[in-house]
């Protein structure tokens, strides 16, 4: 029977270590290479679990209980040092918040199992903790992580104060629950003190995150306004280029009679070679002043033509199949924003490729209507380097102040109830956008 209980104690420790790890992994940003670091942490945790159980067996429960807090803190510090790519203040906030929830779940599980004893108690205790751990981890991953990562991006030194609040509550709870002796040796389990401390904890956390949620909303509004301003500026540039092209074409038509007179005079004078050179020069000048006929949609045609020229100037091979109708039921500014940002990112990705790598960009755009519902599908592929890192589905820009382009594309897709996907595999970066029009 003792061996079974010792085995369950070992499982309890492994369960605690697993909860600590998953709590961290669901909230923090992990260092690369992730698999290697997670594996190293898991091995260390397993070894510590074996050591703790050995202490429990050979030195008794009292000694093991004294080591609970130091071991939990040590496990978290090891995980932070090996795996966390966040600032120390963010990691410490996650660490002490995890401690606060761990203590609470362990306390509730113990209270729910107090009517049992021995092996039955141990089994019930593990079951209660498993259910509560699972529910909280599910909540963290599905609901809390996206909002928490947004706060990490927005906040700076404020995390030091938030981490201090989490640490202070951990000290308070540890004092109430573990000193002068463990709560399970008390007749009333100190439930009133524990409940009071957690009410204060929940109130403080709610006030903190409610305040920072308001800050996050204001930040997102400012960011979207910045994206819209960028799109409007881009649109104005394209309109100006289109006007210049149209004016150049008008001037050419106006001067056409003079060109004909010059050519006739050259031919009549027997200067055939000079006439051919003059004609070739005029033809090349006219072609550079007029945008290529890539698609029927005027704004998209202007934008794609402009970026094709830039790509070819940098020695990048381009292939475009754009089937965009002239009467596309979509805001032209939004469409131009997606095309310009996707093409600009593709050009930058090609330029970062190592020497000797084939640099290319392929663009496929198709518009379809089914049962009255229109869909615009945009796929941009380009050669890229192998060191692209993603966070929350978005590539991390290597350019100072970069990343606005992908956010702009994502924002526009949200406006049209669509989806965006960025992938990088085997030296190929793909941007896929689907819009419902």
Q: Is the pLDDT of residue 291 over 60?
A: no
Q: What is the pLDDT of residue 289?
A: 42
pLDDT greater at residue 127 or residue 243: 127
Q: Is the pLDDT of residue 374 over 80?
A: yes
Residue 271's Cβ-count burial label (10 Å; 0-12, 13-18, 19+) is middle
Q: What is the pLDDT of residue 290?
A: 44
Q: What is the pLDDT of residue 32?
A: 83
| Structure tokens that stand for 310 in this block | 């830039």
pTM to 2 decimal places: 0.57
pLDDT tens digits, one per residue of 77-91:
999 999 998 999 999
pLDDT greater at residue 293 or residue 329: 329
pLDDT greater at residue 220 or residue 70: 70
Q: What is the pLDDT of residue 237?
A: 66
Q: What is the pLDDT of residue 91?
A: 93
Mean pLDDT within 414-435: 91
CA distance 132 to 144: 16
Using left for φ > 0, alpha for ψ between -120 and 50, and beta otherwise, residue 334 falls in alpha
Q: Which helix (H) or strand (E) holds 390?
A: strand 390-391
pLDDT tens digits, one per residue of 187-236:
677 778 888 888 888 888 888 777 766 766 776 676 667 666 666 666 66
Residue-level length of the chain: 437
Distances (CA, A) of 312 to 142, 290, 305, 319: 44, 16, 11, 11
pLDDT over 90 percentage in the chain: 21
CA distance 435 to 301: 19
Mean pLDDT within 288-306: 73
- Name the residue with tokens 């996707």: 342
| Structure tokens that stand for 112 in this block | 């729910």
CA distance 256 to 278: 13
Packing angle between helix 2-27 and helix 34-59, nearest 10 degrees? 150
CA distance 35 to 17: 17
Q: What is the pLDDT of residue 350?
A: 92
């Amino acid at each position: 029977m003792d061996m079974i209980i010792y085995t369950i104690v070992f499982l309890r420790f492994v369960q605690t270590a697993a909860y600590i790890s998953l709590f961290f992994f669901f909230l923090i940003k992990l260092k690369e290479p992730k698999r290697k670091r997670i594996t190293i942490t898991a091995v260390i945790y397993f070894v510590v679990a074996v050591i703790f159980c050995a202490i429990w067996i050979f030195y008794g429960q009292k000694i093991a209980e004294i080591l609970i807090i130091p071991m939990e803190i040590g496990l978290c510090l090891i995980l932070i040092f090996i795996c966390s790519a966040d600032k120390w203040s963010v990691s410490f906030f996650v660490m002490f918040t995890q401690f606060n929830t761990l203590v609470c779940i362990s306390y509730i599980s113990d209270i729910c199992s107090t009517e049992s004893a021995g092996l039955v108690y141990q089994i019930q205790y593990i079951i209660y903790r498993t259910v509560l751990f699972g529910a909280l981890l599910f909540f963290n991953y599905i609901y809390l992580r996206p909002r928490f990562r947004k706060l990490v991006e927005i906040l700076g030194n404020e995390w030091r104060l938030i981490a201090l609040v989490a640490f202070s509550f951990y000290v308070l709870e540890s004092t109430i629950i573990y000193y002068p002796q463990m709560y399970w040796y008390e007749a009333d389990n100190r439930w009133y003190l524990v409940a009071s401390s957690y009410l204060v904890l929940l109130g403080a956390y709610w006030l903190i995150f409610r305040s920072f949620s308001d800050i996050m909303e204001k930040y997102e509004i400012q960011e979207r306004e910045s994206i819209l301003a960028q799109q409007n500026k881009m649109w104005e540039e394209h309109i100006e280029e289109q006007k210049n092209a149209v004016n150049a074409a008008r001037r050419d038509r106006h001067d056409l009679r003079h060109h004909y007179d010059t050519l006739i005079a050259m031919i009549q004078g027997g200067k055939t070679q000079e006439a051919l050179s003059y004609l070739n020069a005029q033809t090349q000048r006219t072609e550079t002043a007029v945008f290529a006929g890539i698609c029927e949609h005027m704004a998209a045609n202007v934008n794609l033509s402009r970026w094709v020229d830039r790509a070819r100037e940098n020695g990048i091979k381009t292939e475009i199949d754009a089937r965009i109708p002239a009467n596309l039921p979509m805001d032209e500014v939004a469409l131009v924003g997606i095309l310009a940002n996707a093409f600009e990112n593709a050009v930058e990705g090609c330029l970062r490729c190592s020497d000797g790598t084939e640099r290319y960009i392929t663009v496929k755009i198709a518009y379809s209507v089914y049962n009255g519902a229109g869909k615009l599908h945009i796929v941009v592929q380009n050669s890229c380097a192998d060191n692209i890192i993603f966070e929350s589905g978005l590539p991390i820009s290597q350019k100072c102040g970069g990343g606005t382009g992908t956010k702009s594309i994502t924002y526009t897709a949200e406006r049209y109830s669509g989806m965006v996907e960025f992938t990088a595999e085997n030296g190929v970066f793909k941007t896929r956008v689907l819009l419902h029009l």
